[in-house]
Amino acid sequence: MKAAMWYGLHDVRVVDVAEPPVEAGMVKIKIEWCGICGSDLHEFTTGPITIPVNTPHPLTGQVAPVILGHEFSGTVVEIGDGVTNVQIGDRVTVEPILTCGECVQCKSGRYNLCSQRGFHGITGGGGGFSEYTTIQSDLVHKLPDNISFEEGAVVEPAAVAVHAVRLSSLNIGDSCAVFGAGPIGLLIIQVARAAGASKIVAVDVSEQRLSKALELGATHIVNPTRQITAEVIHDVTDGHGVDVGFEAAGAELSFRETLQSVKPNGEMLIVSLWEREVSFNPNWLVLDERKIVSSVAYCREYPEVISLIASGKINARGLITKKIQLDDIVEEGFKTLLTDKTHSKILVAPTLR
């Protein structure tokens, strides 16, 4: 079968690999759509970040080259012995987080913080940029009839946004700012609206992304190349600052601006991944008791996220800006996302339908 594999920096190839076997407790899925994630781009431009290169990943036993793709939907085509939660023919999506089940974090229920955490589609074990993949059955979630396969491929990033907002201190009626209107930022905007935020300020350098943000629930927009972010936040919040600033851009300027947008005793929540270090003045925290918190992946939230998409509270379709086939993933997918910021989520199918 065809699969897109990460070989190294700027080196992703579509190659022919063996179809994965179905073992006991595993489910084989024929991939319908798989989204390209910011973390895939990070691995392409500055990796390896979490892809194992020299030491095999403790849970998958694999090193690069690995199959990429962790945001996918598909149809169950085979089940291993002992699988009872899904049947052949079911339409599904996958929670691609791999955990040991043994460490303190796993045992306390916070499996997203597992000491050996891996991701199907990043750290080996197969992935969604391929024709088929196999994964343990408890990570497979059925899609209701009113969620399309395209929307099913957006459940994973939507879960990242739901987890972030749940971990934040955001309460109904609060104001927030979302720095970075890429896919995760646009999803946080929708989740914050669903959670009852009264004011949602979206900050991004792309006009197209800002208009998308307005369409999906932002109440105010700021383009820092044309406006002074702090002034807009000041005006919108009557000089107080926002209750919660979500950092979803992963850039130094945005880090500082998020912190500076937050009211005294307010909170900045970091959800983005970083390619380099940042510097900031801790007085911004200390003098007004501001807080920095963070959020990674998701933990037992897939059923709720699927319901939020099914009920229309999260518009997953609104995020999808392009659909391509696997053979074109580098040129039409990765390179397009890196150069053309009008795009949000690009979905990849093994063969275009």
Q: Out of 1, 103, 214, 310, name the contact with Zn ion by CB under 5 A.
A: 103
Q: Work out whether 337 is an interface residue with Zn ion (CB under 5 A).
A: no
What six digits make up the tokens of 53? Answer: 């290169």
CB of 59 to Zn ion, least distance (A): 9
Of residues 114 and 320, the one with the C-beta less far from Zn ion: 114
Q: Out of 1, 14, 17, 100, name the contact with Zn ion by CB under 5 A.
A: 100
Sites for Zn ion among residues 25-54 (CB under 5 A): 37
Cα dist from 150 to 18, 139, 265, 322, 324, whole Å: 26, 19, 40, 11, 12
- Interface segment toward Zn ion; rule CB under 5 A; list 102-110, 232-240, 243-251, 343-351: 102-110
Our CA dihedral for 37, 39, 44, 46, rounded to 10 degrees, sits at 150
CB of 34 to Zn ion, least distance (A): 10
CB of 40 to Zn ion, least distance (A): 7
Of residues 99 and 229, the one with the C-beta less far from Zn ion: 99
Of residues 118 and 266, the one with the C-beta less far from Zn ion: 118
Q: Which residues of 131-165 are buried (b: 16+ CB within 10 A; e: fewer)?
A: bbbbbbbebbbbbeeebbbbbbbbbbbbbbbbbbb
Of residues 32 and 174, the one with the C-beta less far from Zn ion: 32
CB of 242 to Zn ion, least distance (A): 26
What six digits make up the tokens of 6? Answer: 């990460």
Of residues 49 and 228, the one with the C-beta less far from Zn ion: 49
Q: Out of 36, 106, 176, 348, name the contact with Zn ion by CB under 5 A.
A: 106
Of residues 100 and 214, the one with the C-beta less far from Zn ion: 100
Query: How far is Cα 155 from Cα 158, in angstroms, rounded to an integer?
Result: 5
CB of 250 to Zn ion, least distance (A): 13
Of residues 100 and 285, the one with the C-beta less far from Zn ion: 100
Q: Work out whether 114 is an interface residue with Zn ion (CB under 5 A).
A: yes
CB of 104 to Zn ion, least distance (A): 8
Query: How far is Cα 345 from Cα 287, in angstroms, rounded to an integer?
Result: 39
Of residues 141 and 290, the one with the C-beta less far from Zn ion: 141
CB of 111 to Zn ion, least distance (A): 6
Written as one string, the DSSP assignment of 139-195 is GEEEPPTTS-HHHHTTHHHHHHHHHHHHHS---TT-EEEEE--SHHHHHHHHHHHHT
Strand 132-136 relative to strand 140-142, pairing:
unpaired
Q: Work out whether 167 is an interface residue with Zn ion (CB under 5 A).
A: no
Of residues 5 and 222, the one with the C-beta less far from Zn ion: 5
Binding residues for Zn ion, rule CB under 5 A, total 6
Residues 6+ apart with CB under 8 A from 125: 59, 60, 62, 66, 98, 118, 135
- Interface segment toward Zn ion; rule CB under 5 A; list 109-117, 230-238, 275-283, 318-326: 109-117
Query: How far is Cα 276 from Cα 246, in angstroms, rounded to an integer?
Result: 19
Mask 218-237, x = binds Zn ion (CB under 5 A)?
--------------------
Task: For tokens 């910021």, name the residue.
Answer: 341
Q: Can you list the alpha helix ranges (DSSP code H) found in the chain?
A: 38-46, 104-107, 149-152, 155-167, 183-194, 207-215, 229-236, 252-261, 283-286, 302-310, 335-339
Residues that bind Zn ion (CB under 5 A): 37, 99-100, 103, 106, 114
